[in-house]
């Protein structure tokens, strides 16, 4: 494309009432070729998202890599740590316990089907960021700024670092080590993984594949242990079966709407990560075809294992113990089945390795997501943090998860901080997932004239939207919070306050300051010395576009 030529508006724009589109956002813009600022309608930018994009790193992830990436991202501390807390939230009812896990499992399948449809329309890196931009484009840059600041502020790996430290110390025999010691061990590992992912992204992916296979083996072992206890007599297993049909539907303790919503958030947290492969679509070989095969396969494996593991918890651990164990429930399960040597030390250490693998994958995805945010150019020092120098990877973007995780892990906190952090992480994520999946209905009504390679069923879209709406609304009632959060601020209001701060940043930068300064903000594409392209915002006065030097 020559430097003086604007993007052509495709036929899909013509189908969208051009008169309305032309008047909907007069201040919007679109990037043309390198170095030139051109102002048109914001829907042009939406159309540009439909094109694939190549990055200097290249496409190096295949189907097996995607399966392992999803397994690594999903299987972290969740299934080994939150089941006891969920059991407490549902009043000790096995029926409600399994119902919560079933809803979260189906939500992961429904969500991935929705994201597969969106991924076939927008086959590029960024995941929810580019999907939300593609759907909610009318208020120029508002979605980008709010989601971008959310991604950076919530781009930490605190919960898994805590579990890694606790399980590592427990496996090595430091049973009485305090929570603060565990957090320090977790922080050291986070720092180490930031260095590994920053220096060699390809080594990071290979390490993820190995640890991912180990995770699957651990899941199968824990799943089979529950079947072993249920099927064979206690004289053979030396474990008394604690799960009885007579009290399967009984509710032993008080539950509230808030505690039920908290249980759902924790279960969803254990499946969190099904959407993350979309973040690195630019690095996946044939991303649409690969994702359509690998994502459902990974979820099928994980859902089956999760069901059997939760069955093991109920079958092996007595009711009173299960509701009090909190995040050490996975270790206690294996200790009771396999004994103090194999169970307490060896298998508990594998849980720590599982959390470690999740930390590696989370940092890998956070670095890519943060890089996508800084490529938009609206944050200070965007050019510096977007660069792939000096090792050909977004190492500079790893500063943020390291600093945020470090501050939180070094500050003394109450012993029950883990579950609060889980819900703080999960709340805004579910809010954005719900908005993204609901956006499919908006796109279908918009009639873009482009048929997706994969189409989600309406029931999947409705379920995710309703599920996330319930989870997000139920948390807003301050009187329905579980007693385990006493002493903590309401996680929903903390998360919403951070999102509102992002809205204020957008309002000041893109609305108030341009109006007070009598200028327009328009963006141009610039190419960094490492070959990566990014946006640069220019103050244009008098309505005339100019070249960027």
Arithmetic mean of pLDDT over the chain: 77
Give the per-residue pLDDT at 449.
67
Write down the pTM of the prediction. 0.72
Which tokens hold the place of 529?
């010395």
Q: What are the beta bridge partners of residue 521?
A: 539
- The SS3 of residue 430 is helix
Give the per-residue pLDDT at 101.
94
Per-residue burial over 309-326, b if 16 or more Cβ lie within 10 Å, else e, is: bbbbbbbbbebeebbebb
Q: Which superfamily, per CATH, for 49-517?
A: Amino acid/polyamine transporter I (1.20.1740.10)
CA dist., res. 102 & res. 99, Å (int) = 5
CA dist., res. 281 & res. 365, Å (int) = 11
Give the per-residue pLDDT at 386.
84
Q: For the chain, how are helix, strand and coil distributed in percent, rounded to 5?
A: 65, 5, 30
Give the per-residue pLDDT at 17.
35
Please provide the DSSP assignment of 342-360 as one string. IIIIIIHHHHHHHHHHHHH
Residue 543: other Cβ atoms inside 10 A:
9
Backbone angles phi, psi at 445, to 5 degrees: -70, -30
452: number of CA atoms within 13 Å, CB side? 21
Which tokens hold the place of 114?
């929705």
User: How buried is 240 (Cβ within 10 angstroms: 0-12 exposed, 13-18 middle, 19+ buried)?
Assistant: exposed
CA dist., res. 152 & res. 408, Å (int) = 15
Which tokens hold the place of 421?
């952090």
Q: What is the pLDDT of residues 172-201, one digit of tens each?
A: 878 777 778 888 999 999 998 888 877 776
Contact 208, 69 (CB under 8 A): yes
The list of the chain residues with pLDDT below 70 reads 1-60, 76-77, 125, 201-205, 208, 277-282, 325-328, 344, 347, 413-416, 418, 447-449, 478-487, 542-549
Q: What angle do CA 146, 151, 155 make, to 5 degrees?
A: 155
Q: Domain ranges for the chain, please list them.
A: 49-517
Bridge-based pairing of strands 30-31 and 37-38 is antiparallel
Which tokens hold the place of 504?
């204020």
Within 8 A by CB and 6+ apart from 329, the residues are 80, 81, 83, 84, 313, 317, 322
């Amino acid at each position: 494309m020559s430097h003086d030529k604007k993007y052509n508006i495709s036929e899909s724009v013509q189908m969208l009432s051009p008169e309305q589109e032309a008047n909907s956002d007069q201040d919007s813009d679109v990037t043309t070729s390198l170095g030139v600022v051109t102002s048109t309608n914001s829907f042009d930018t939406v159309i540009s998202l439909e094109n694939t994009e190549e990055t200097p790193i290249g496409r190096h992830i295949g189907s097996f890599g995607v399966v392992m990436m999803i397994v690594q991202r999903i299987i972290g501390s969740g299934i080994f740590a939150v089941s006891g807390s969920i059991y407490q939230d549902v009043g000790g009812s096995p029926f409600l316990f399994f119902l919560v896990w079933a809803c979260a499992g189906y939500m992961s399948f429904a969500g991935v089907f929705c994201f597969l449809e969106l991924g076939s329309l927008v086959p590029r890196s960024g995941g929810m960021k580019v999907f939300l931009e593609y759907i909610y484009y009318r208020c120029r840059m508002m979605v980008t700024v709010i989601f971008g600041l959310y991604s950076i502020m919530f781009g930490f790996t605190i919960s898994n670092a805590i579990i890694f430290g606790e399980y590592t110390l427990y496996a090595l025999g430091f049973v009485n080590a305090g929570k603060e010691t565990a957090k320090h061990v977790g922080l050291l590992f986070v720092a180490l993984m930031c260095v590994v992912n920053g220096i060699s992204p390809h080594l990071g992916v290979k390490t993820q594949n190995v640890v991912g296979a180990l995770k699957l083996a651990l899941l199968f072992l824990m799943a089979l242990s529950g079947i072993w206890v249920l099927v064979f007599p206690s004289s053979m297993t030396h474990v008394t079966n604690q799960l009885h049909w007579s009290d399967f539907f009984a509710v032993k303790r008080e539950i509230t709407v808030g505690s039920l919503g908290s249980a759902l958030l924790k279960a969803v947290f254990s499946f969190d990560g099904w959407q993350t492969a979309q973040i690195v679509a630019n690095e996946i070989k044939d991303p649409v075809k690969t994702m359509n095969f690998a994502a459902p396969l990974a979820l099928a494996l994980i859902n089956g294992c999760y069901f059997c593991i939760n069955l093991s918890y109920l079958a092996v651990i007595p009711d009173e113990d299960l509701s009090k164990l909190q995040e050490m429930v996975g270790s206690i399960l294996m200790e009771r089945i396999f004994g103090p040597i194999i169970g307490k030390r060896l298998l508990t250490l594998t849980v720590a390795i599982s959390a470690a693998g999740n930390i590696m994958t989370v940092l890998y995805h956070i670095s890519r997501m943060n890089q996508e945010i800084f490529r938009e150019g609206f944050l200070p020092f965007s050019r510096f943090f977007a660069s792939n120098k000096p090792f050909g990877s977004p190492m500079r973007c790893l500063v943020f998860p390291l600093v945020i995780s470090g501050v939180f892990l070094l500050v003394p906190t109450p012993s029950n901080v883990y579950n609060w952090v889980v819900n703080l992480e999960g709340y805004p994520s579910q809010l954005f997932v719900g908005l993204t999946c609901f956006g499919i209905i908006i796109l279908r009504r918009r009639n873009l004239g482009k048929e997706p390679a994969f189409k989600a069923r309406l029931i999947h879209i409705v379920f995710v939207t309703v599920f996330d709406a319930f989870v997000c609304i139920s948390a807003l009632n301050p009187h329905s919070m579980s007693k385990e959060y006493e002493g903590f601020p309401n996680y929903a209001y903390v998360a919403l306050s951070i999102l509102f701060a992002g809205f204020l940043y957008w309002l000041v930068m893109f609305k108030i300051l341009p109006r007070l300064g009598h200028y327009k903000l328009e963006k141009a594409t610039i190419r960094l010395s490492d070959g990566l392209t990014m946006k640069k915002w220019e103050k244009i006065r008098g309505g005339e576009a100019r070249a960027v030097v």
